[in-house]
Structure 1
């Protein structure tokens, strides 16, 4: 067991090193200008090793931004609704206040994605794929396919908006603790809106 644990740690260290090197090179020279061969050489690994960790060049940037909402719904506790499972997951994430998050690395990733049409398209495709997977996972909680698709679209929209607001604050220089506190409040607001709709908003116009 000890050896297996050591191997896993070494694999994770190698994966992290490759990702960090790739992000630094993309940030310095631009995503399109950097080749996979250059990244492998700079990270001190063979090209085949790099592809063992990252299936494509795009994955070097986008793997870290994937969020498996379908797995959260599918793995929810018996008797727990999909919305409650997702709320609990994002409430816990927000409650960690960023933890040991490397803010500079996150901002670098955002810069790299924002400056590359190919990566922006990849983010859109990833979000679409996650939405379809979430709709499939929601299928057992709805009466028809269109209901599941509409629910998945709303959930995905709320989560994406929450993430964008959090990233924007960090980019604007808001301290991580403060950005995390605001994210906690907004997670509750977002899931209140998903669960109760506009009726959850106080101060309606008279």
Structure 2
């Protein structure tokens, strides 16, 4: 593993791109947009970000939590940016790595929702997870009733969800969750007709995906 001049171990983050979005290392320049993304009401409603999220929280996440998680092999989190402008769309990652499985976690800012960036990023992530990393299963957890997250998982091929009441922990509270599964050999396209709301007005507009991060609770 590379060592930085200050003596701390560096970490390698594979760069993944499809020409539209790029998954790369989170950098200091991402802090302001990351803070805005996490302060968005949809992020507070459907993910585990702390309430009242600030740039100090984002800087701690970028400079301390993410590097430590990569070095420990505990979580692999990427910035998702526009491939042309490098503007941060959000974050995506492989969380709760265990054996040959992991949970998918993501959060995108309001400016990126509905653009296809989340789906493109997840496809790149899954290709890397099931390819070079050798994972066999990926899991998707969405807080009920986050239909936008569930529909994104459906488009990616995740199988029909199981609802488990009180399974998800969100800022100390137990909330209901949908759990979906995708195997390495499964198609990356819908496996059944969509059974959720068809009208945009009937579903949240955001796509924060699973409840994992993009920051753990403050210490």
| TM-score range relative to shorter protein | under 0.3
Q: So what's the TM-score if we normalise by structure 2?
A: 0.26
Q: So what's the TM-score if we normalise by structure 1?
A: 0.28
Structure holding more helix per residue: 1
Structure holding more strand per residue: 2
Larger Rg: 1
